[in-house]
Every structure is written in C-alpha cells, then in structure tokens.
C-alpha cells in the first residue's frame, strides 16, 4: 500500500468575493451567467492555455483558474475581469478588443466580431462596469493563503542526512526508484508519494545502515556514552535523546523517548549486547515519518524554531542543520528575521551550499536530457558522452562564476566568455584553453554568448541528425520565460518527412513553415516556439557552427532500383528569429537571443519563479505572486545578484511558515 502525501490547500474561498458584491448591481438588472455562458466560450478558444501563471501570457493581468476549478472559483475569476473593463467607454475595453484582435493579440483573433461569444462577453463587461471597485478590492484582500505541503526528503537529502548522522558516504539512494520531474524539478511535493517499492527500499536501507553503523561496536562514535552493560538505562536514555534529536531534527517528546528506550533495551536484552539494541533503534528511527518527512509545525509548536532550522539547511545545503543551527533553535535564537538571515548568510558561505545549488541548476537546465541524448556518430565524430559531460561542466562553471562572485546574473545570457576543455574546443571550433575549464573569451565572430551558446542548450535540443527549432523554442519558453506550451494532440507524428528525389531541397526552417502553415491547429502553438528556434539554425545538433545546412535527398525504392543515388545539398541558412510577446526581440544568433532575454523582465521574473519552485517544492499559484514579486524586486535592486534572490526566498515568512516578530 502506498502512502500518498499530497499538498494540502486551504479551500479557495471565492464565495467571499461573490458575497461581498452581491446586490451591488443596479436594481432590476439580471447578471449574465458567467460560468454557464461566457466562460465556456473562453475555454472553447483555449484562452487558459496562454493566460495562466506559466503560460505565454503570464505577464498580463489575465490569469485563468486551474482546470477543473469550482463554479465559485470561475465566478470569482469573472468578477476579477473588471480590471480589463473601461466603465466610461465599454466598447474600448481591453476585455473586448484583445480577443477580437482589434488590439493586436499574440494569440490572434479568437472571438469573431459580431458573434454570439462577443455579445456574451460584452454583456458581462457591461455588468462588471456596474460593480463598485472599492468593494471588490476590499473583498479580494481577504482571500485565503496557500498552505504548505508535507515534503519528503529527496534522494540527495536522504544521502546527506545519513552521512551526517552515521558517517555513511555510500549514497544509498542510488538503489531507490528514480525521482520524477514535475514542474521542472524532482523535489516537488506533488510527486513525493511513498510507493511500495520506495517503502521497501527505505526498510532495506535502514536495516543495512543500522547494521553497518555498529558492525564493529561503536567505532563511529554514535553512542555518546560508554554502556556499562546491555541494560544500561542511563546510557540508553542519553543515546536515544542525542541520536533521536539529530535524526528527527528536534528534541524528542517524553513518550517518544520512552518508546525508543524500551525498544533498545528489549533488543539489547535478547542479544545480551547494548549495540544490538542501538542497531534496532537506529533502524526504527530511519524509517520514522519524523526522519523521512519535513512536516510543517504549528505556529505555537515548541518545535517551530527547529523546523525553521531544518527548512533553512535543507534549502541551502540539501542537508540537516549543523550543531550551530540546532543550538540556535534550542536557545530560541531563530525568532526574528535578522537572526535567521544571519544564519542563512553563514550557510551560504559554507562549501556545502555549492553542491546544493548545483543540483538546482542541473535540474533547471535538464542535464539529464543532455547526458542521455543520442547523436549520429557517423555525422558527429567529435561528439560523445565525454563531450556531453564537458558541456555540463562548462555550464556549471559559468553558473558558479556568477553566483559565488555575486556578479550580475543577466550575464548568464550575455557572457562573451566561457569555460572549455579540449573536448569542447573541437566541437566549438575554438583554440584550446591554457587551463582545462579556464575562463576563455569567445572569438568575436562566433555568435555565441552565455548559456544559449553552450552545448548544454544547443545539443540537448537537437535531434540525432537534424536540429529542432521547435525544441529550442520550447526550452526558451519553458525554462527562461516560465511559459508552458501545450503538448501536441495525441497521435501527432512530430518527425519531418524525408525529401525525395525530384522534390525541391528545403531547409528545416522551410519544411516546418510549410507543414505548420497547412494546419492552423498546429500553427497556433508553433508560431510561439519555432521563430525562437530559427534564430539558432547556424548551430547544428551538437552545437557546432555551420555556414550552410546539409540536406539529404533520398530516392524512392523504385528510383533506387533505377540506380538513382541519394544526394546531399548545402543550403543557405536564414537564422532570423524573434520571441513573440517581447517587443524588439529580433535576433539571429545565441548572442542576440541572450541580449533579448537579459533585457526582459519576464525572463528575470522567471528566474525567481524557477528558484521558488525548487525552494518551496511546488509550483507557484496566484497567492504566491507577492512572494515572487518581493524576491524579484530584491534580485533587481541588488543588481541581479543571485544569492540575494535565494536569501529573499528562504528567509521569507511564506517559506518558513512564520510571522516575524518586530
């Protein structure tokens, strides 16, 4: 039986807003049925696909409720559309002009002028113009907050925790079932159910770790006293208190302490060996929910400051609190914002913060996809697994250089230098560096800059032979703009048709434009991603620069029997691209694309959102907007210093679940 622990949410109290404005309309007016008439028309046109917290239109004022939302939530959303209504000139309201494309709309015309859908939307706009804005704002201010979920230790956190507890460095989680990526990361509460396979792995690992800890007595110094015999209650109590408070990351309650003491003494008596009892106790504690999970404590809990210590250390170290942090919690010195911030800064100067942040970065950049990508070795002889590993190291070096030197993180997209070894210089066509992975300037004519010039991005988003403008555009949208693009309909064949003898040779760009122009359903999404990917077409599937695109034309079986051979044509490349939704976003190289993103507030906010998702272990909701805005503002005001962004999130009231004392 699996133990599914899912995020807990306070219900969405939309009824509060609706009740607050009830009766506010003009006497005798019957309000249109928004949920029954207007909203279905918007859903039918897939408006929610772009207008959500992670959609292409996430930077606009229009955010749809999640799929499956209650009628109350939908009605509350309808009331919120009042911000898009000009009460003094309703026909000129953005609510009516945008979806009809009278004002240029990235999604194009979705509602036909004069249609029934437009009449229903206009009636709703008329109704909204009658509502008192001050009453709506007052009601909206009383909305409920998001309750934080219970989170399980990630596999990396499990390894680091048993390392600190037992001195074990074997990384036992390698034998656990693989963690799934959700919202771009593997630490999301929504994916942290304990399956039967994981529960069994926990049990077997706990037994092995406990047995190894006392295989040769207490050579690791885990027991803080010298037992006088198998039934030494005083030593048992001292061990249970010390090890238990370290394992559970808080002091044990009296009942907990007594239960574990009795377990220890019972097993010690049966084996006539104190350490057999200690082994059983450690095995039990390593399977306890208090060890495996990070559960929120109530505001009045005596353990609240210990929870603060744990949340801080697991966010910054992927590991349990050290002695100084535990001592601060025990002394009540994690009560104020200043106290916690001081410890957070201390943790960030410790070497353990580096691998923890590198894990965030590796998942954000999806190193796993690059390391498992397959390329045609006949076509790309200089590419192999060792090159892929060098590419991840190159990107880690750039990330670390910017983060630990407190540099302007916008340079992540615009850096005119990189960190390469001799594997990468062959692929990139550069001179070998004087020191492997030393800081090296890009040649001025390379067109490369920042992460978009790295193989981490270019090779990961390439097919075995050809480039994939669609994949490259998707990566930019999802990872750097935090915009979700819906997947293709089921059964769609995404592979490109081979060119046959007699057909005009076409580049990937021409082929995609022709295919998607013939299908408006496909075009609606591809026009958001393909133009981005086109800007990288001078870089092939492994990230090497090319002046022309080799296009292979294959004969049909009949032509092959006639002796007609395949031929390869070198075609000119059009690398002009742009990012729909960002003004002045034209570019024709990774360097140009990096400059566009470095200037984009949407990109800067996306960095804050990505880090929010990783730190909080869940995707953001509308209620998290103030938290993310504060983090973004600190990021911007600091000159885009990444560590300041991180500190704002991990020391926030929302993450720690506290109300800071004045």
CB 375 within 8 Å of CB 541? yes
Please state which of the ranges 8-17, 257-266, 537-546 shows the lowest mean pLDDT.
8-17
Query: What local confidence, expressed as pLDDT, does residue 23 receive?
Result: 35
Residue 397: closest CA among 342, 476, 456 = 456
**CA 129 – CA 81 distance, rounded (Å):** 10
- Looking at the DSSP bridge assignments, the partners of residue 535 are none
Is the distance from CB of 607 to CB of 463 less than 8 angstroms?
no
Same domain membership, residue 168 and residue 68: no
Tokens of 593: 């694309």
Give the list of residues 6+ apart from residue 504 with CB closer than 8 angstroms, or none: none
Q: Say what the pLDDT of residue 87 is.
A: 78
Checking if the pLDDT of 194 tops 80, the result is yes
How much is the pLDDT for 356?
Answer: 97
pLDDT for position 12: 25
Secondary structure of 550-615 in HEC code, one letter for each residue: EEEEECCHHHHHCCCCCEEEEEECCCCECCCCCCCCCECCHHHHHHHHHHCHHHHHHHHHHHHHHH
Per-residue pLDDT band at 92 (split at 50, 70, 90): confident
Residues 433 and 556 in one domain: yes
Q: Which of 559, 575, 598 is the last residue of a domain?
A: 598
Q: Is residue 7's pLDDT more than 50?
A: no
176 band by pLDDT with thresholds 50, 70 and 90:
very high
Whether residues 183 and 266 share a domain: the answer is yes
- Asked if the structure places residue 170 within a domain, the reply is yes
Residue 200 is predicted with a pLDDT of 96
End-to-end alpha carbon distance in the chain: 47
- Which runs of E-coded beta strand occur in 106-254? 151-152
- Tell me: do 589 and 523 sit in the same domain: yes
Give the separation between CA 294 and CA 91, rounded to whole angstroms. 53
Is the residue at 208 inside a domain? yes
pTM above 0.85, yes or no: no
Cβ distance 545 to 447 under 8 Å?
Answer: yes
Residue whose C-alpha is closest to residue 658's, from 431, 404, 375, 336: 336
Please tell me the distance from the alpha carbon of residue 84 to that of residue 653, in angstroms, as a whole number: 32
327 occurs within a structural domain: no
Look at 647 and 132; give whichever has higher pLDDT.
647
CA distance 649 to 652: 5
Distance CA 513, CA 469 (A): 11
b (16+ CB within 10 A) / e for 274-307:
bbbbbbbbbbbbbbeeebbebebbeeeeebbbbb
Residue 318 lies in a domain: no
- Do both 123 and 176 map to the same domain? no
Kindly indicate the confidence band of residue 8, based on its pLDDT and cuts at 50, 70 and 90: very low
The reply to whether 146 falls in a domain is no
Among 92, 114, 141, where does a domain finish? 141
- If asked whether residues 64 and 91 sit together in one domain, one would say yes
Confidence band, pLDDT 50/70/90 cuts, at residue 331 = very high
If one compares 624 and 17, the residue with the highest pLDDT of the two is 624
Give the bridge partners for 439, in sequence order.
419
- pLDDT, tens digit (0-9, with 9 covering 90-100), for 197-208: 999 999 999 999
In a domain, 649, yes or no: no
Question: In this predicted structure, what is the pLDDT of residue 116?
Answer: 86
pLDDT digits (tens, 9 = 90+) for 636-658: 999 999 999 999 999 999 999 99
Q: Which residues contact 41 (CB under 8 A, 6 or more apart)?
A: 111, 116, 117, 120, 121
Residue 572 has pLDDT above 50, yes or no: yes
Rounded mean pLDDT of 269-289?
Answer: 97
Q: Give the domain extent around 47.
A: 14-141
pLDDT band, residue 84 (cuts 50/70/90): confident
pLDDT of residue 532: 98
Same domain, 442 and 501: yes
Report CA torsion sign: 489, 490, 496, 502.
Answer: negative
**Predicted pLDDT at 501:** 67
pLDDT exceeding 70 applies to what percent of the chain?
89
Tell me the C-alpha to C-alpha distance, in Å, between residue 329 and each of 61, 91, 305, 339, 647.
42, 60, 5, 10, 19
Average pLDDT, rounded, for the chain: 87
Q: In the prediction, which pLDDT does 132 show? A: 62
Q: What is the pLDDT of residue 20?
A: 33
Q: Which range (115-119, 129-133, 276-280, 610-614) has the least confidence?
A: 129-133
Same domain, 512 and 440: yes
b/e per residue, 630-658, with b = 16+ CB within 10 A?
A: ebbebbbebebbbbbbbbbbbbbebbbbb
Domain termination site, one of 552, 577, 598: 598
Position 57 scores a pLDDT of: 67
**447-501 confidence digits (pLDDT tens):** 999 999 999 999 999 999 999 999 999 999 999 999 988 877 776 666 777 776 6
Strand residue runs (E) in 391-537? 417-420, 438-441, 499-500
Cα–Cα distance, 594 to 598 (Å, whole number): 6
State the average pLDDT over residues 276-301.
93
**CA distances (Å), origin 311, targets 108, 248, 551:** 45, 13, 54
Give the tens place of pLDDT for each residue, 359-415. Answer: 999 999 999 999 999 999 989 998 999 999 999 999 999 999 999 999 999 999 999
pLDDT at 143: 40
Residue 263 has pLDDT above 50, yes or no: yes
**Tokens, residue 587:** 């570019």
How far is CA 516 from each of CA 187, 463, 509, 512, 537, rounded to the nearest angstrom? 36, 19, 11, 6, 18
**Does 483 share its domain with 582?**
yes
51 and 167 fall within a common domain: no
Number of domains in the chain: 3
| Residue at token pair 């981490």 | 456
204 and 255 inside one domain: yes
In terms of domains, do 63 and 130 share one? yes
3-state helix, strand, coil in the chain (%, to 5): 50, 5, 45
What pLDDT score was predicted for residue 469?
A: 96
- SS3 category, 220: coil
Helices (H), 431-588: 455-458, 469-475, 508-517, 520-534, 557-561
- Alpha-carbon distance 411 to 632, whole Å? 17
Q: Please report whether residue 159 resides in a domain.
A: yes
């Amino acid at each position: 039986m699996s133990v599914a622990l899912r995020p807990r949410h306070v219900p969405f109290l939309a009824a509060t807003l609706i009740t607050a404005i009830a009766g506010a309309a003009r006497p005798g007016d019957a309000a249109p049925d928004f949920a029954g008439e207007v909203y279905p028309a918007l859903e039918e046109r897939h408006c929610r696909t772009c207008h959500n917290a992670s959609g292409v239109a996430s930077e606009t004022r229009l955010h749809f409720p999640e799929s499956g939302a209650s009628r109350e939530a939908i009605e509350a959303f309808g009331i919120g559309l009042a911000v898009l209504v000009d009460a003094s000139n309703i026909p000129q309201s953005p609510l009516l002009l945008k979806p009809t494309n009278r004002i240029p709309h990235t999604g194009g015309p979705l509602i036909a002028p004069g249609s029934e859908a437009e009449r229903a939307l206009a009636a709703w706009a008329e109704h909204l113009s009658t509502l008192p804005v001050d009453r709506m704002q007052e009601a909206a201010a009383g909305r409920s907050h998001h309750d934080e979920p219970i989170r399980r230790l990630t596999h990396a956190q499990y390894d680091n925790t048993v390392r600190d507890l037992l001195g074990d460095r074997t990384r036992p989680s390698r034998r656990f079932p693989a963690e799934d990526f959700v919202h771009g990361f593997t630490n999301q509460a929504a994916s942290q159910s304990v399956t039967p396979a994981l529960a069994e792995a926990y049990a077997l690992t706990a037994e092995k770790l406990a047995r190894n800890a006392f295989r040769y007595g207490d050579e690791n110094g885990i027991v803080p006293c010298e037992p006088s015999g198998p039934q030494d209650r005083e030593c048992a109590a001292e061990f249970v208190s010390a090890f238990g408070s370290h394992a559970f990351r808080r002091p044990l309650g009296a009942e907990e302490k007594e239960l574990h003491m009795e377990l220890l003494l019972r097993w010690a008596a049966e084996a006539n060996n104190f350490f057999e009892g200690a082994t059983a106790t450690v095995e039990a504690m390593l399977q306890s929910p208090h060890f495996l999970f990070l559960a929120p404590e109530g505001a009045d809990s005596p353990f609240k400051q210990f929870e603060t210590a744990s949340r801080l250390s697991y966010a910054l170290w992927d590991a349990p609190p050290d002695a100084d942090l535990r001592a601060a919690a025990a002394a009540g010195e994690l009560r104020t914002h200043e106290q916690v911030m001081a410890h957070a800064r201390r943790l960030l100067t410790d070497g353990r913060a580096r691998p923890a942040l590198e894990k965030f970065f590796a998942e954000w950049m999806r190193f796993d996809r690059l390391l498992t990508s397959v390329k045609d070795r006949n076509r790309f002889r200089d590419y192999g697994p060792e090159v892929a590993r060098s590419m991840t190291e190159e990107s880690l070096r750039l990330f670390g250089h910017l983060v630990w030197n407190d540099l302007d993180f916008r340079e992540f997209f615009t850096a005119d230098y990189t960190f390469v070894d001799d594997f990468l210089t062959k692929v990139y066509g550069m001179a070998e560096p004087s020191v492997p992975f030393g800081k090296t300037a890009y040649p001025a004519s390379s067109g490369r800059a920042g992460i978009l010039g790295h193989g981490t991005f270019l090779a990961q988003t390439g097919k075995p032979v050809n480039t994939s403008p669609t994949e490259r555009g998707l990566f930019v949208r999802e990872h750097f703009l935090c915009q979700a693009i819906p997947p293709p309909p089921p059964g769609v064949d995404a592979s490109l048709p081979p060119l046959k003898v007699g057909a005009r040779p076409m580049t990937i760009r021409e082929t995609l434009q022709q295919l998607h122009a013939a299908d408006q359903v496909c075009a609606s999404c591809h026009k958001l991603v393909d133009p981005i990917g086109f800007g990288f077409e001078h870089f092939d599937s492994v990230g090497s620069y090319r002046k022309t695109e080799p296009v292979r034309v294959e004969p049909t079986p009949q032509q092959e029997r006639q002796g007609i051979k395949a031929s390869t044509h070198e075609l000119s490349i059009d690398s002009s691209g742009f990012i729909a939704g960002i003004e002045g976003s034209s570019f024709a190289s990774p360097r140009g694309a990096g400059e566009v993103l470095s200037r984009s507030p949407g990109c800067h906010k996306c960095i804050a959102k990505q880090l929010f998702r990783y730190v909080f272990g869940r995707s953001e909701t509308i209620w998290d907007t103030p938290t993310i805005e504060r983090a973004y503002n600190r990021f911007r005001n600091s000159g885009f210093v990444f560590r300041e962004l991180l500190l704002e999130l991990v020391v926030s009231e929302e993450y720690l679940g506290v109300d800071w004392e004045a």
